[in-house]
Amino acid sequence: MNYFSSDFKLGILGGGQLGKMLLYNTRKFDITTFVLDPNEEAPAKLACNTFIKGDLLNYDDVYNFGKQVDLITIEIENVNLDALEQLEKEGKKVYPSPKTLRKIQNKATQKLFYQDNHLPTAPFSRFAFLSEVEDAIKNGGIELPFVWKSAQFGYDGNGVKIVRTVGDLKDLPKGECIAEQLVPFKNELAVIVARNASGKVKTYPVVEMEFHPEANQVEYVICPARIALNIQQKAQEIALKTSEAYNHVGLLAVELFLTQEDDILINEVAPRPHNSGHQTIEASFTCQFEQHMRAILDLPLGSTENKVASVMVNLVGAEGYTGNVVYKNIETIMSLDGVTPHIYGKRETRPFRKMGHVTIINKEVDKDRAIAQTVKEQIKVIAG
């Protein structure tokens, strides 16, 4: 099928920053795009051919959107899967498939999937209600501390909390959740796997992630990860096994823990472009967003090699500021060599909201990391 400069229509569920960056590449290839998002001011609105306002979890909104396009993809997992299954039955291509998304959308189902497929992950318990967690602590069923995760709708550090005392359960959502053993890890790593509809697979180099201690959000993504070659290989092997088990089409970002004993455990996955791959825009021969397009359209996959070492810094709303966004000192960081900011187009800032990212590229990863620290200290995302 001819996708380029043709009547082919690609539908993207979700119009956030991932959708916007995906559209950089559809523009490059002249592919007609439709976007569905509930926000009239969604970042992706400016870059698509047709924008439709609608609820991603509403059956009719997703079904009617899908009827207008030839192929449907996502930039967020929280979408109506019943509608996507019906569209698939009617002959629409949906990548990743609703079957894959059902295994990933719910964190408890995701963890059970790793167990069933003999994929390494931290021990956990599943609970239908938060009250059951408290009971399990009292009767010795689970031990403190542990990581509480909401089974549904977690994102950007929301829906995750380290529970050290029973009091930490106060104010958490009351519904389905998991209690995961707290892993004393050395590093958090990630590997992005690309798989096209014909089953051809490529992995990106392993990245190292440094997290904000309070917000549980990634602050820095460092590529290549500063780990031994045998550990890099082990991480990529586990990511490939995970990809094979899910039988996904598109990208699969596999987040991993590296334990003190150099074992690798799967934390969670995302079946789409991911925060751990933003640096690929400047640093890789094929960026993750172009690769996702190649994979879902069943085109040859591009090279995943690095052109240069890189560090990505997330730009999030500063604490204490809510309102119209101002990027204080953005000119200062742009004067530094190898620094490229990406602003997502969200007009309103609030504490810890992802507003953009900055990529730093250099021949040496340690120099990248030092410049990234300067960037983090200089730029402030505030309200004006």
Check the annotation: does 85 bind a ligand.
Answer: no
Check the annotation: does 107 bind a ligand.
Answer: yes
Check the annotation: does 319 bind a ligand.
Answer: no
Check the annotation: does 188 bind a ligand.
Answer: yes
pLDDT tier at 125 (50, 70, 90 boundaries)? very high
Are the CB atoms for 185 and 157 separated by under 8 Å? Answer: no
In percent, how much of the chain has pLDDT > 90? 92
pLDDT for the residue 1: 83
Check the annotation: does 316 bind a ligand.
Answer: no
pLDDT tier at 156 (50, 70, 90 boundaries)? low
What is the value of pTM for the model shown?
Answer: 0.95
pLDDT for the residue 206: 98
Residues 175-187 pLDDT 10s: 999 999 998 899 9
Check the annotation: does 149 bind a ligand.
Answer: yes
Residues 312-329 pLDDT 10s: 999 999 999 999 999 999
Q: Which domains does the chain have, with CATH numbers?
A: 9-94 (3.40.50.20), 123-181 (3.30.1490.20), 185-383 (3.30.470.20)
Both tokens of 87, joined, read 């569209």
Residues 35-90 pLDDT 10s: 999 999 999 999 999 999 999 999 999 999 999 999 999 999 999 999 999 999 99
Check whether 136 has a pLDDT greater than 80: yes
Both tokens of 297, joined, read 């359209």
Whole-number average pLDDT of the chain: 95
Check the annotation: does 219 bind a ligand.
Answer: no
pLDDT for the residue 213: 72
pLDDT tier at 157 (50, 70, 90 boundaries)? low
Nearest to residue 161, comparing CAs of 131, 176, 140, 182?
182
Are the CB atoms for 94 and 88 separated by under 8 Å? Answer: yes
pLDDT tier at 154 (50, 70, 90 boundaries)? confident
pLDDT for the residue 158: 77
Residue entry with tokens 């730009």: 315
Check the annotation: does 202 bind a ligand.
Answer: no
Nearest to residue 282, comparing CAs of 194, 370, 369, 342?
342
Check whether 193 has a pLDDT greater than 80: yes
Check the annotation: does 138 bind a ligand.
Answer: no
